[in-house]
Amino acid sequence: MRVLLSNNPDSLRAALSEYKNFAVVEAEFGGAEVMGSSDSITLNHHVRPERQCPCLFRTADFPAEVRGNVEAVGISHFDLDTLGGLMALRGTKPEGHQDFWRLAAFVDLNGPHAVENQAMDAYRQLAAVWAWSQKNRLFAERDGSVTDVTDFVAKAEQAMLRILNMDADLMREGATLTHEEALLNASSFRTAFNMFFDTARPVLAVVRVSDKFTNHLYRHEGLVADLVVALNTTSGAITVSRRDGTVAVDCRQLVQTFWGELAGGHAGIAGSPRGQVLTQSDLETFVDWLTLTKDR
């Protein structure tokens, strides 16, 4: 069973059409999707939110005669949710471990910042996955071409099986990552402030400065922020992100109102114009503007 990766739906569709029976896992491209050769082996859920996350499927959901007929699987990206669905289709996913897979699905839909209990084993396993993924990255080719990533998926499956079995070395790497994230949370935090939009309550923003990405750090000492406003001192970019879709702020509209049309991104996360190197003084000016101006 080959696994084919592409960030272009037409390219992926063309490659899969060479096979009689093919599945897809999160083969989704914005509002479009690539379908499998039958609905039962089409594991998409963002375009079709009534469907469950692929990582919640079990090997038992795909009988051996179904799996044996699947010649190829198409994916648009590779993450834990994708891997869980692939393992079920490929027959490599062991029974059990439902607490872990339920947490993986929750994080896929809500983000890691939404997890409140980080002491549970499932979260420790999740941190181990993130640590492994930082060292073993897989991205689609930017030109939209199709890549056979079967060998990488097999490698990821082996790591996943070790993590599900609480492998000491991989769990230790996950614990190190969690510790480093806590240090980054503490060191990057600068202040918190309220923005007053025409919403039912103020929008709470935290300001962060670091040479690393920090727009995933919404929690700080009991605070759960709606927005992160972060200066990356490596790139010189200021980025605004929102916790989830319930926050009534369009980040792209916000940054374009301040910096103009060269600022970019989307509603969930957006930043200052590419190529501009901004400083802490620029960050302070931007934060002052956010604090004082209403109705953006």
DSSP 90-111: HT-PPS--HHHHHHHHHHHHH-
Residues 54 and 142 in one domain: yes
198 and 262 share one domain: yes
In a domain, 181, yes or no: no
For the stretch 40-58, pLDDT in tens is 999 999 888 889 999 999 9
Q: Residues of the chain with pLDDT > 90: what percent? A: 76
For residue 20, what are the domain limits?
A: 2-166
How many domains does the chain contain in total? 2
Distances (CA, A) of 219 to 26, 121, 196, 289: 29, 21, 20, 23
Helix (H, G, I), strand (E, B) or coil at 282: helix
Domain identity same for 162 and 264: no
Domain boundary among 135, 166, 197: 166
Question: 172 lies in a domain?
Answer: no
152 shares its domain with 234: no
Q: Each residue of 175-227: pLDDT tens digit? A: 999 999 999 999 999 999 998 766 567 899 999 999 999 999 999 988 889 99
Residue 173 is assigned to a structural domain of this protein: no
Residue 182 lies in a domain: no
Least confident of 134-138, 139-143, 193-197, 272-276: 193-197
Please check whether residues 25 and 120 belong to one and the same domain.
yes
Same domain for 42 and 81, yes or no, is yes
Q: Are 216 and 113 in contact (CB under 8 A)?
A: yes
User: In this structure, are 130 and 220 located in the same domain?
Assistant: no
In this structure, is residue 64 part of a structural domain?
yes
Q: Which residues pair with 240 in a beta bridge?
A: 229, 270
What token pair was written down for 133? 């993924």
Sign of CA dihedral 87, 89, 94, 100: positive
- Both 161 and 197 in one domain: the answer is no
Predicted confidence at residue 221, as pLDDT, reads 87
